[in-house]
Structure 1
């Protein structure tokens, strides 16, 4: 870094409808897994910070739940509040959409960003999945007409294509400032929170079709014993029948969820993990604001 290129640092909200790849993009920019990923909508339920540090500057990324047009349950309302609240005090916004698709929820996300008055970068994700590559340019022309963007970036977050140019343009939108976080920091969330999210990721991946929104995870115990982390996780469901689905025949499914969660924790925390999991029932928790607050939903 030279005298001519001052260090830049600022916060950037990552906004979009559910399932467009916001968390995959956040993880790719940070260079580590701070946000859980599955191919189910509503995987991200919390607003969380991912810290992306580069020689030229630092981007504090606010990964958000997807914005929903229909808010049937308390869970949806809480998630929409988290997504909208993430725009307070940020310097720029990334509107993430899926290549070849723009619907009402994309328009809702655009309007929320536009009304906030911050510069908006359009991130067109999953371009690698477009069968007709020639359709990309007409699609971009169609969706940018009448909408103002600071820049437009077709990318593949999963394959990390197009990220360098995106980072360069986003850094140009944030103020000259020293970094907010240390070079080795990747998130503001605790290991305890991340442990719960990694268990929930496995639930979403293995039970998505069967239990789309009926599960959450509470970490009851998190202790350090030398280089060993002892973690106790309670998986909450809403009905007895759901408990049986999570446990699986002879407990096989719960064992598999636990084993895969533990491997992810060991990779992220760089320590040995002893993980215990239990399944308990609390009826109607996802439509109960008090229960959501108790489980750490903002």
Structure 2
């Protein structure tokens, strides 16, 4: 890991820059899209919805522009204190950016969840691009737009872009459209950066991703990762992390028979973290029971989930 100071260059007069908020319902592919555009994994993805919790910024810098993507949690009706924090942050992001990319799953018709977001967007002065993701899942719509989304675009005078975050098809055109809609501006970050998040945060997210992938619905969202200690030497980085769950039964599932599940999670997460820091990693995981941490504002703050100002 490298904490050396990186300078921010002066942008030419025709350089464009700005913050693009990626919003949408849970599991429409927002994080996958941001990772593809940025060219590196900075947001976790999984088959389970609601995997993004904090507003995560991915940075794409080209010779012509710098786009800072704000990947927001899926907007949904909250059921606990954590859910309220998640949705509040997503709503705040709508007015805190320069441009909004409203991502939908184009393989299904627009539903109530999409229209709930449309109503939120009616109050913003920021331009909106309607992003039709997952065109790879419905080839018959490749050259046209489902009428339900066509109506939304026409009613609100939104630009439309069709793409697949998985295959990358159409993402070059999407990127060009976003740049066209941004104003001229400075470099906000050094061109080398792909995220503004500290490495410990990304490490924790990579561990949480493996928990979601390995346990699926058994441990959906009642887990929080705390990086307790990081020890660095020239040859290896040692990471000690606590997995916090709400119930003892969840602890048992995470540990697995003779520790098999925890070993699998640790092995997969270690490989991902090694890619992040480009070095050897020793990862030690242990599981703690923190009853009802999602309902406690104090615990939420300790685990890094706070309403952003």
TM-score by length of 1: 0.94
Going from structure 1 to structure 2, the CA distance change for 1:295 and 1:146 (only over 3 Å counts) comes to same
Equivalent-residue separation in structure 2 for 1:138 and 1:179 (angstroms) = 38
Q: Where does residue 82 of structure 1 map in the other structure?
A: 89
Paired position in structure 2 for 1:40: 48
Cα deviations across residues 155-186 of structure 1 (Å, max 9, x unaligned)?
00111111111111111221212321112100
Aligned to 2:170: 162
Partner of 2:253: 245
Q: 2: CA distance between counterparts of 1:135 and 1:196?
A: 41
The reply on whether 1:200 has 2:208 as its aligned counterpart is yes
Unaligned runs of 5+ in 1: none
Distance 1:14 1:223 in 2: 35
Runs of 4+ in 1 over 6 A off after TM superposition: none
Paired residues for 1:53-202 under 5 Å: 53-68=61-76, 70-99=77-106, 100-130=108-138, 132-133=140-141, 136-139=144-147, 140-149=149-158, 151-202=159-210
How much does 1:282 deviate? Answer: 0.6
The whole-number CA distance in structure 1 between the counterparts of 2:169 and 2:13 is 25
Q: Which residue of 1 aligns with 2:287?
A: 279
CA deviations on 1:234-275 (whole Å, 9 max, x unpaired) are 001111111000000110000000000000000121111110
Aligned equivalent of 1:27, options 12, 35, 45: 35
Asked whether the equivalents of residues 109 and 146 of structure 2 are also in contact (C-alpha less than 8 Å), the reply is no
Q: Does the 8 Å contact 1:238/1:282 carry over to 2?
A: yes
Alignment partner, residue 265 of structure 2: 257
Work out the number of aligned pairs and report it: 294
1:297 maps to: 305
* SS class of match (1:264): helix
5+ residue gaps, structure 2: 1-11
Deviations 1:119-140 (A, max 9, x none): 0000000010116437953434
**DSSP 3-state at the match of 2:211:** helix
Residues 89 and 213 of structure 1: CA distance in aligned 2, closer, same or farther (over 3 Å)? closer
SS of match in other structure, 1:34: coil
- The answer to whether the 8 A contact 1:93-1:113 is kept is no
1 CA distance for matches of 2:304 and 2:142? 45
Q: 1:71 to 1:89 in 2, by over 3 A?
A: closer
